[in-house]
Amino acid sequence: MTESENILAADDIKKVFHSKQGPLHAVDGVSLSIKKGNTLGLVGESGCGKSTLGRVLIRLIEATSGSASFDGVDLFSLSDSEMKKMRKKMQIVFQDPFSSLNPRLSVADLIAEPLIVNRICASSADMTGRVFRLMDTVGLARRLYRSFPHELDGGRRQRIGIARALALDPEFIVLDEPVSALDVCIQAQILNLLADLKRNSRYTYLFISHNMSVVRHVSDRIAVMYLGKIVEIAGYDVIFTAPAHPYTKALLSAIPIPKPGARGKRIVLEGDVPSPVNLPSGCGFSPRCFCKSEVCSRIPPSLTEFEPGHSVACHFAKKEGGEYLNGADRT
């Protein structure tokens, strides 16, 4: 993979929030890259910093330090007006399709809003045509044009959120838990829609989820995040068949699988995630790790290439094959 194929590259991103308890290290030194047309799945438990990282990468919130480039352009040095132009290429779909949509606007108004704000349309007929085409693209029936969000189910509401993200013809989309608030069968419909859109238009996605089974279906590569850091990153097949970080192994061992006896032993993590206000001195995972040693509480492991395309942050990274899921087929 050459540098030039990466549409997005981030280096040592940190985001510190100021909380009552003190500085809260939500993102603590993340470096990653995403190839054009690929999907990077970002997984980890609640509060590990996934949404903060996604928002920093498209500058919805400002990073405390670090750098990021999009299509070779240094994102963090852009002025507000330059960033406004750049943001057309970088969009986000939020988790909750109800609270993220203004309940007073109709489907047509909601989808037209980004077109109006960015003065994209030459006439009202042009706008109506674009809104209808976006509705077709995301599978919303045209008869719903004048409906309001509360009249629609969660799946249709999320389709509106996706249409709004597509309205400005973006290249990169942060999907922040786009199906977590939906029923399981509607989740599958939205995942299929996102996959079709990517196939047809070569969008690049950062797909955020706390659910390993969901990212498995959509990702080319998967980054596992813990306490503000990426602890393992590799192709989806490597993550699912030969994970090397104990935390990834624990997450995988918790996935429900339909075949009784097909799974290895379930790894139950003891204790809670440490507070991002008082970070442990060594490895952030060591207080809960089932294979820690004395060195782990003293020296934080850096994210190091374990084999080509597979990096792990663990002093005792160990590859184990085929134990957690039988086969990596995405059926």
Binding site for ligand ATP (CB under 6 A): 17, 19, 24, 26, 44, 46-52, 210, 276
- Smallest CA-to-CA distance from 44 within 175, 229, 199 is with 229
Query: At its nearest, how many Å lie between ligand ATP and the CB of residue 27?
Result: 7
Q: Which does 52 bind (CB under 5 to 8 A by kind): Mg ion, ligand ATP, none?
A: ligand ATP
- For the packed helices 154-166 and 184-201, what is the interaxial angle rounded to 10 degrees? 20
Task: Give 45 or 71: the residue with its C-beta nearer to Mg ion.
Answer: 45
Query: At its nearest, how many Å lie between ligand ATP and the CB of residue 24?
Result: 5
First and final CA of the chain: distance in angstroms?
27
Query: At its nearest, how many Å lie between ligand ATP and the CB of residue 222?
Result: 15
Q: Whole-angstrom Cα distance, residue 291 to residue 270?
A: 12
CA atoms within 13 A on the CB side of 187: 16
Report the relative pairing of strands 204-209 and 172-176 from DSSP bridges. parallel
- Residue spans of beta strands (DSSP E) within 5-101: 6-19, 22-35, 39-43, 65-70, 73-74, 90-93
Task: Give 210 or 310: the residue with its C-beta nearer to ligand ATP.
Answer: 210
Task: Give 131 or 231: the residue with its C-beta nearer to ligand ATP.
Answer: 231
Task: Give 181 or 313: the residue with its C-beta nearer to ligand ATP.
Answer: 181
Q: Which does 137 bind (CB under 5 to 8 A by kind): ligand ATP, Mg ion, none?
A: none
Query: At its nearest, how many Å lie between Mg ion and the CB of residue 111?
Result: 24
Task: Give 51 or 248: the residue with its C-beta nearer to ligand ATP.
Answer: 51
How far CA 107 is from CA of 146, 157, 161, in Å, comes to 6, 9, 10
Site for Mg ion in 51-80 (CB under 5 A): 51
* H helix intervals, the chain: 50-57, 80-87, 107-117, 124-137, 154-166, 184-201, 212-218, 236-241, 246-253
DSSP-derived 3-state class of residue 304 = strand
Binding mask 24-53 for Mg ion (x = CB under 5 A): ---------------------------x--
**Phi, psi (degrees; rounded to nearest 5) at 319:** -85, 135
Q: Which does 49 bind (CB under 5 to 8 A by kind): ligand ATP, Mg ion, none?
A: ligand ATP
Query: At its nearest, how many Å lie between ligand ATP and the CB of residue 195?
Result: 22
CB atoms closer than 10 angstroms to residue 296: 21
Q: Whole-angstrom Cα distance, residue 37 to residue 305?
A: 23
Query: At its nearest, how many Å lie between ligand ATP and the CB of residue 322?
Result: 29
Q: Which does 48 bind (CB under 5 to 8 A by kind): ligand ATP, Mg ion, none?
A: ligand ATP
Q: Which does 26 bind (CB under 5 to 8 A by kind): Mg ion, ligand ATP, none?
A: ligand ATP
Q: Which does 286 bind (CB under 5 to 8 A by kind): ligand ATP, Mg ion, none?
A: none
Task: Give 26 or 206: the residue with its C-beta nearer to ligand ATP.
Answer: 26
**Phi, psi (degrees; rounded to nearest 5) at 307:** -155, 165
Query: At its nearest, how many Å lie between ligand ATP and the CB of residue 26?
Result: 3
Q: Which does 79 bind (CB under 5 to 8 A by kind): Mg ion, ligand ATP, none?
A: none
CB atoms closer than 10 angstroms to residue 92: 24
- Smallest CA-to-CA distance from 167 within 219, 107, 209, 218 is with 107
Q: How many residues of this chain interact with Mg ion, rule: CB under 5 A?
A: 1
Residue nearest to Mg ion (CB): 51
Query: At its nearest, how many Å lie between Mg ion and the CB of residue 258?
Result: 28
Binding site for Mg ion (CB under 5 A): 51
